[in-house]
Structure 1
Amino acid sequence: MSEPRWLAGDERETWLSFAALLELLPSSLDAQLHRDADLTHFEYYVLAILSEATERTLRMGVLARATNATLPRLSRVVSGLERRGFVTRATCPSDRRATNATLTDAGFAHLAAAAPGHVEHVRTIVFDVLTPEQVAALGAASDAMLGVLDPDGHARAGADLASGGRSDDAQA
């Protein structure tokens, strides 16, 4: 068994700072969205991904990959969004074994109303405190880590949906 590769002093300090950020950021995003739009960050993310899909519709499996969720978790969240009239589910016309989720007009309107406050919060807690060089470094560091954690790019699929994502078998 090889010797552990312990973190050097600067690595340890960076890791502790980053670990604190990983703990604080989700609760900050959730608190703002809950206060302003009665949504969790994950619910907002689901609505945002659907809003960028063709016809605002995706197969549940595609949506699960794009949001890095298990199907049971996604189904539970989508059920809540359905009860609020923000999403509908229907059998996929091209594969009756699959289910499509569709963002409703009410869901789109709620997302559109929530977006300005959410973007302002993200700007305040992330981008306003960083220099342009730090923003570029954050992007590069995030991409490098995602390359290890998500080599197939499923968690970054939302960006691809805006440029032509489809709800049919091509995205299965």
Structure 2
Amino acid sequence: MKRFALAIAAAAAFALPAHAGPQYVDGTGFAVSGYDVVAYRGLDQAAVGAPQPEGVKGRADITADYNGATWAFATEENRDKFLENPAFYAPQYDGHCAYGVSKGGKVPGNPNLWRIVDDKLYLNITTNVVGFWEEDIPGNINIAEGNWPGIESADASTNVIPNFTSDAPVSN
């Protein structure tokens, strides 16, 4: 009976979104560099190995606060959807690179290097890293889930994301 209770607790922990620390915020002052996290759900996801469509920039005048950060949205409708269930739309690992977490590190995620797996949004830092992550997405997620509790409170790298520049969200 004790093993069964532990199995249920472990399963419940994996079902929860992978965030507990503050959301990563870069120099834009917004979570996910000001990109609309709800909009990813409406983009056509590319096959593994192919580049994803670029994310949709949010607007500085359509925002919401969640997990210690301000989030920008392209439309009021997207903001309202986010506010109904922010944990569903927020990227895993507080917006940090999924592959980096699988390797025990905490580096920023690039909003244009994304993938939705099992209804969860994951970001990565560079196109090279995406290639490594896509070699074994389920395995890397499994490892990252195990690593995350030990690194979630660590400070993230403040380095600029290679091959990514972003202005703040589009103004109104």
The two structures share one fold, judged by TM-score above 0.5: no
Instruction: Give 1 or 2: higher strand fraction.
Output: 2
Instruction: Give 1 or 2: higher helix fraction.
Output: 1
TM-score, length basis structure 1 = 0.25
TM-score, length basis structure 2 = 0.25
**Bigger Rg, which one:** 1
